Structure 1
C-alpha cells in the first residue's frame, strides 16, 4: 500500500527576504515556473502573499507558503 503524505509549510512572516531558486539553471527554473525569480530576487511578504521584485519593479507573486516551500528564503 502506498501512503500519500501532504507536507505543509508554515507561511512566512511579513517582512523582507531574499528568495534563491533551488534550480541549478534557468531552463530548470523555467520548467518549474520560476524563471522570473532566477537566480534570486528580493521578496516582500505581506498578508500571506510573497511579492518578488527587482529594481523596485514587481516581477512575480505567489502564496507565502508556496514561496517558503519552493525557494531558499533568507532574511534581507
Structure 2
C-alpha cells in the first residue's frame, strides 16, 4: 500500500497545482489546509513539508463546491 503522505513536489504534481499554491493554502499562511490533518512540518526549519494528498484533494473539492454555490 502506498502512503498518501508525499513531499511537496510530489504532492503538487499529483494534485495538479504548484508547490507555491500548496504552501499558500496552509492555515499558517491564511489558507484552509490544516496542520496535522492535511500537512505536517518536519522537525527543523529545513525539513520537507509532507502532504496528505487525499485530504488535500478533498479540501480543494470542498472549496470548489462552496465557490460554485456562492457564484
- TM-score bin, normalised by smaller chain: under 0.3
Q: Which has the larger radius of gyration?
A: 1
* Structure with higher strand content: 1
Q: Which has the higher helix share?
A: 2
TM-score (ref. length: structure 2)? 0.26
